[in-house]
A and B are shown apart, each in its own frame.
Chain A
Amino acid sequence: DQQVKQNSPSLSVQEGRISILNCDYTNSMFDYFLWYKKYPAEGPTFLISISSIKDKNEDGRFTVFLNKSAKHLSLHIVPSQPGDSAVYFCAASDTGGGADGLTFGKGTHLIIQP
């Protein structure tokens, strides 16, 4: 059973527009969420995180929104740039004692078109 789901395997967005990547989770014990970005032949790099006590966290062009009642989070990138083309992974953690480390979604391949 996949506890973190990224239902869009790929997303194509025009340069300068907003990119919205979505993530859903099923485990109500998750209380910390992260987004990672991955280029080919490299490991994922941390982008932004959010704790369940917040509903929004912003860092430059990146904003993560958390809707706990819907068990849904999204990553907004504004404006989108060509260098943003990568695979984005959503990850979740139960910091209260979960034994499974970080649980990742399968990723969304974001393609920024010029």
Chain B
Amino acid sequence: KAGVTQTPRYLIKTRGQQVTLSCSPISGHRSVSWYQQTPGQGLQFLFEYFSETQRNKGNFPGRFSGRQFSNSRSEMNVSTLELGDSALYLCASSLGTSGRYHEQYFGPGTRLTVT
């Protein structure tokens, strides 16, 4: 069974631009969560989608948004990029809603660098 895949793996953008990251969950998984990992803050929850609906949202500004398609693939978008958005963005999929006794399986992440 293929794991969680994320594209692209690396990305360099300049301040003010916008970016879209993609995540394909494990086949059969309906929940996709996104996390931001930075050295200073560790892993922080961005949002979770389940059956095309946003179920949970972390404490991030509205510049961060996402969506999920009918095939469970998910995209996250960051508009008006800031230097502080440089991070590893991780996607995780699970059978059910996160935190409900279903372990999440993480993808390798997309390394975003904002210059």
Q: Which residues of A contact B42 (CB under 8 A)?
A: 89, 104-107
Report if A99-B101 is in contact (Cβ < 8 Å); known contacts: A43-B106, A43-B109: no
Instruction: Give residues of chain B (77-106) contacting chain A, Cβ–Cβ below 8 Å.
Output: 90, 92, 98-101, 103-106
Q: Does B71 touch A at the CB level, under 8 Å?
A: no
Complex Cα distance, B56 from A106, in Å, reads 21
Contact check, A93 vs B104: say whether CB atoms are below 8 A apart. Answer: no
Contact check, B43 vs A95: say whether CB atoms are below 8 A apart. Answer: no
Q: Which residues of A contact B21 (CB under 8 A)?
A: none
Q: Which residues of B contact A107 (CB under 8 A)?
A: 42-43
Q: Does A59 touch B at the CB level, under 8 Å?
A: no
Q: Among A12-20, A44-52, A62-70, A73-81, which stretch is in contact with chain B?
A: A44-52
A51 and chain B: residue at smallest CB distance: B101
Q: Does A98 touch B at the CB level, under 8 Å?
A: yes
Contact check, B106 vs A32: say whether CB atoms are below 8 A apart. Answer: no
Q: Does A103 touch B at the CB level, under 8 Å?
A: yes
Contact check, A46 vs B45: say whether CB atoms are below 8 A apart. Answer: no
Q: Which residues of B contact A94 (CB under 8 A)?
A: 99
Contact check, A42 vs B99: say whether CB atoms are below 8 A apart. Answer: no
Among A41, A44, A93, contact of B99 (Cβ-Cβ < 8 Å):
A93
Q: Which residues of B contact A42 (CB under 8 A)?
A: 108-109
A44 and chain B: residue at smallest CB distance: B106
The bracket for how many chain B residues form the interface is: 20 to 34
Q: Does A21 touch B at the CB level, under 8 Å?
A: no
Q: Which residues of A contact B33 (CB under 8 A)?
A: 101-102
Q: Which residues of B contact A45 (CB under 8 A)?
A: 105-106
Complex Cα distance, B103 from A36, in Å, reads 10
Taken residue by residue from 100 to 114, chain A's Cβ proximity to chain B (1 for < 8 Å, 0 otherwise) reads as 111111110000000
Among A49, A51, A102, contact of B98 (Cβ-Cβ < 8 Å):
A102
Instruction: Give residues of chain A (19-40) contacting chain B, Cβ–Cβ below 8 Å.
Output: 32, 34, 36
Q: Does B48 touch A at the CB level, under 8 Å?
A: yes
Q: Which residues of A contact B43 (CB under 8 A)?
A: 44, 89, 91, 104, 106-107
Q: Does B27 touch A at the CB level, under 8 Å?
A: no
- Residue ranges of B at the interface with A (Cβ–Cβ < 8 Å): 4, 33, 35, 41-45, 47-48, 56-59, 90, 92, 98-101, 103-109
